[in-house]
Amino acid sequence: MPEVELRNVSKRFGRIVAVNTTNLKIEDGEYLSIVGPSGCGKTTLVKMISGVWEPSEGDVLIDGKKVNVVPTEDRDLGYVFQSIALFPHMTVWENTVYSPLVKDKSENERKSIGEDSLRLVNLLEKKGLFPSQLSGGAQQKVGLARALSSKAKLLILDEPLSALDARVRIDLRYELRKLVKRLGLTAIHVTHDQEEALSVADRTVVMRKGRIVEMGSPRQLYERPRHPFTANFVGEGNFLEGNIKSTSDNWCFVELRNQQFLSVRPTVARAGESVILFIRPENLRFTKEFKANALPGTVEDVQFVGSYLRYKVMLETEDIALIDLQIPHERINAGERVMVEFDPTDTIVYQRPPEGLREL
């Protein structure tokens, strides 16, 4: 059964270190997603797992066996490339059943495998067309069908849904996860789309500049990111800069700019240290009274975002706070003075990274 491990793996292209001394273990039957900004090394990482690249250093293991130089075709995996790589001279059907054909499956087996895969992506009726006759999104679906037809237990999906429109993308990611779980596959799914990464996977890896910043369950990454980069990259949030004034077992008193204070949960940071506070827009509220843990500010902008309104508030601390409030609620207009309440349990404290907030 496919269990994948990277041990101190690096990949260099000349002077570029695309993946830097990375360790990662993917359990058998696990659905893992990988997110990170463009160029952080996601594709390079999965290309080493799939055998397109050999690591410059370190080892790739599949089921405990070192496979650094084993070619892709001998690794028994289904691979959806980031750039759609269909065979242009073959029809949708021939592309889809390519792997079962190479593996000498009988005609009946090929028919059943190919039909199942194409049905999943809703393209059975297009099986006679050539890739050039399909839209980009449909080509990507054929790429997915072709990977599924390999019947491999390990699926590597590099931005498999990026060319599809939003609605289809959501349906298909749900179907993909269901299928992976039903068949007991191990899946590694690279995506730019943070919502896709969180909703499809059992565990998510966040990468930055060739390294893994953090990995954890989607919920942990969203609700309790351990690293401010994750907080900033996965979902949206507000950062406030400050200094720890005092700490106790139960509280940590933070001085923000403009001599305003918030109490938050205790942290490893000590009195005098620079910190950043992080809170998600849906965890902030307006309050009418002056009370502890409420900061004054002025509403700059109100946006309609479907089921909620997003308020942009300029706080007196000179930080901007984004606040999402479900509709209906008592509407506040741009220009109004407000108090924004911070619940200490939803506010996360990070030591200020040496490079500041700009690098997040």
Ligand X SMILES: Nc1ncnc2c1ncn2[C@@H]1O[C@H](COP(=O)(O)OP(=O)(O)OP(=O)(O)O)[C@@H](O)[C@H]1O
Interacting residues toward ligand X by CB under 6 A: 13, 16, 18, 36, 38-44, 82, 192
C-alpha torsion sign, points 162, 166, 171, 173? positive
Choose between 110 and 189: whose C-beta lies nearer to ligand X: 189
- Residue 18 or 120 having the CB closest to ligand X: 18
- Residue closer to ligand X by CB (options 41, 344) is 41
Pick the closest to residue 78 from 156, 6, 17 (CA basis): 156
80-109 burial by CB neighbour count: b if 16+ within 10 A, else e? bbbebebeeebbbbbbbbbbbeeeebeeee
Q: Which of 153, 212, 154, 227 is nearest to 9 (CA)?
A: 212
Nearer to ligand X, 30 or 158 (CB): 158
- What residues from 137 to 166 belong to the interface with Mg ion (CB under 5 A)? none
Q: Are 35 and 206 in contact (CB under 8 A)?
A: yes
Q: 214: helix, coil or strand?
A: strand
Number of C-beta neighbours around residue 348 at 10 A: 21
Which x/- pattern, by CB under 5 A, does the window 76-115 give for Mg ion? ------x---------------------------------
Cβ-proximal residue to Mg ion, closest one:
43
* Tally of CB atoms within 10 A around 256: 21
Interface map 13-42 toward Mg ion (x if CB under 5 A): -----------------------------x
Report in angstroms how near the CB of residue 155 gets to ligand X at its nearest: 17
18 contact, one of Mg ion, ligand X, none, CB 5-8 Å limit per kind: ligand X
| Three-point CA angle 47, 53, 54, nearest 5° | 125
The residue among 17 and 90 lying less far from ligand X, judged by its C-beta, is 17
Q: Which does 41 bind (CB under 5 to 8 A by kind): Mg ion, ligand X, none?
A: ligand X
Give the one residue of 43, 96, 149, 191 binding Mg ion; rule: CB under 5 A: 43
Q: Which is nearer to Mg ion, 42 or 75 (CB)?
A: 42
Contacting residues toward Mg ion, per CB under 5 A: 42-43, 82
